[in-house]
Copies of this chain bind each other. A is one copy, B any other.
Amino acid sequence: MQLGMIGLGRMGGNIVRRLLRDGHTAVVYDRDPKAVEALASEGATAASSLEDFAAKLEAPRTAWVMLPAGQITEETVTALGGLLSADDCIIDGGNSFYQDDVRRARDLDAKGIHYVDVGTSGGVWGLERGYCMMIGGHKEAVDRLDPIFRTLAPGIGEIPRTPGRDGRDPRAEQGYIHAGPSGAGHFVKMIHNGIEYGLMQAYAEGFDILRHANAPDIPEARRFDLNLGDIAEVWRRGSVVSSWLLDLTASALAGDERLEGFSGYVEDSGEGRWTINAAIEEAVPATVLSSALYRRFRSREDESYADKLLSAMRQGFGGHKEPPRRGPAP
């Protein structure tokens, strides 16, 4: 079927490519004309403006917005709301905040326009592996878009089936779900990312302990000089902690076990934060997920005011003088 795509970055572009490969058609638009040309050369229909984009879509239209979360997505959805008509559908496939979805869906509902939020995981690997999708919106719209989702999803592939799923929604096994009303898709994706932070931090701490197993303070008889790359590799093979994140870890450590190409400065995107806000609203103790987020915050501080205050108190009650910092190794 036909899909309109706005935003032809790596994600948007590859989604279009995966659709074209499977016989779908696409109208594409991006602020950058070169990005439009590139996909047009691969078979998509180029649009030169939002208006042109809307005009080239066949009713009922489907406009997938794949832009950075925040103002640009907001403005684009608003503009589309003015250009589209009842029974058309706007998909936000970016990383929007689920409460924005709820609000937008309510506003567009008044015009009869469907709003569908699609949280996608799989990132740069999606073109090849398929996209894992969590979808929120009206059943009617989600069902209508099913051919699109089926093509984009990874499918069952070689991953073993989970026992006991007979009679359950078969889409989950294909790699996409209709999670609930508008907002539910991004809500589930948000928690996915919250979990991701926790998993990553668990590995990071474990390998940190392994790496310091030969610290000079430790009695020599139980000091170990471990090969972290081999450890990551062996855990991929039948251990309880095997995972895709461990696969990536093994790759990184095979390349440079000391990870010297990295500064230790770690960004976070909104989802990890929103996950904690949601947990607090629900009164769910999210100890590990919060700790993981905070470690990222801390990673970006060279000096912490909190730490300085600790030193100030220590000097106050005990006369302790902290040594100066050494700074990162050259």
Q: Which B residues touch A133, using CB under 8 A?
A: 234
Q: Give the size range of A's interface with the partner.
A: 35 or more
Question: Is A245 within 8 A of B248, CB to CB?
Answer: no
Give residues 276-305 of A contacting B (CB, 8 Å). Answer: 276-300, 302-305
> Does A43 interact with chain B (Cβ within 8 Å)?
no
The residue from B169, B230, B277 contacting A280, defined by CB atoms under 8 A apart: B277
Distance between Cα atoms of A97 and B195 in the complex (Å): 29
Q: Give A219-257 as 1s and 0s: 1 = Cβ < 8 Å from B's Cβ atoms.
A: 001101111011101111111111111111111111100
**Can you list 17 A-B contacts (CB < 8 A)?**
A121-B240, A124-B317, A132-B239, A172-B237, A191-B210, A208-B286, A208-B306, A213-B278, A215-B282, A245-B317, A262-B309, A262-B312, A265-B322, A273-B280, A280-B293, A291-B291, A325-B328
The residue from B233, B313, B323 contacting A200, defined by CB atoms under 8 A apart: B313
Question: Is B206 within 8 A of A122, CB to CB?
Answer: no
Distance between Cα atoms of A209 and B283 in the complex (Å): 9
A196-B240, A204-B309, A266-B311 given; 13 more Cβ-contact pairs under 8 Å: A168-B254, A197-B202, A198-B203, A201-B310, A202-B288, A205-B284, A244-B317, A252-B315, A259-B311, A285-B306, A302-B302, A302-B326, A327-B328
Top 3 nearest A-B pairs (CB, nearest first) are A198-B202, A243-B243, A248-B316
> Does A4 interact with chain B (Cβ within 8 Å)?
no
Question: Is B317 within 8 A of A217, CB to CB?
Answer: no
Closest B residue to A252 by CB, please name it.
B312
Question: Is A134 within 8 A of B243, CB to CB?
Answer: no
The residue from B98, B235, B277 contacting A192, defined by CB atoms under 8 A apart: B235
Q: Which B residues touch A141, using CB under 8 A?
A: none
Question: Is A287 within 8 A of B279, CB to CB?
Answer: no
Closest B residue to A303 by CB, please name it.
B264
Distance between Cα atoms of A327 and B316 in the complex (Å): 28
Question: Is B307 within 8 A of A180, CB to CB?
Answer: no
Question: Is A233 within 8 A of B173, CB to CB?
Answer: yes
